[in-house]
Amino acid sequence: MKITVDALGLSCPEPVLKLKKVIGGAKDIELLVDSRSCVENCTRFAESKGFAVSVSGGRGQYVMTLKKK
């Protein structure tokens, strides 16, 4: 089951903290963030937890797709 985490309007590290709450049992996560630095921060965190990360969208709204490897 896909989990969606809406972290729009939040600055780092809040998106990482939101992601941290759900990442434990999840395999498929869609994460919405609005800044490039959040994308980078969350990518690193997700990869360290064994997820493959792809990013679409652009300025103002990035859609990050996280899949457990």
DSSP category for residue 63: E
Length of the chain: 69
Positions touching another protein (CB under 8 A) are 10-14, 16-17, 20, 35, 37-38, 40-41, 44-45, 48
Q: What are phi and psi of 47, to 5 degrees?
A: -65, -35
| Nearer of residues 20 and 27 to another protein, judged by Cβ | 20
| Nearer of residues 4 and 11 to another protein, judged by Cβ | 11
Distance in Å, CB of 67 to another protein, minimum? 19
> How wide is the angle at C-alpha 15 spanned by C-alphas 5 and 69, nearest 5°?
65
Distance in Å, CB of 41 to another protein, minimum? 5
Distance in Å, CB of 3 to another protein, minimum? 18
Q: Which residues pair with 66 in a beta bridge?
A: 29, 53
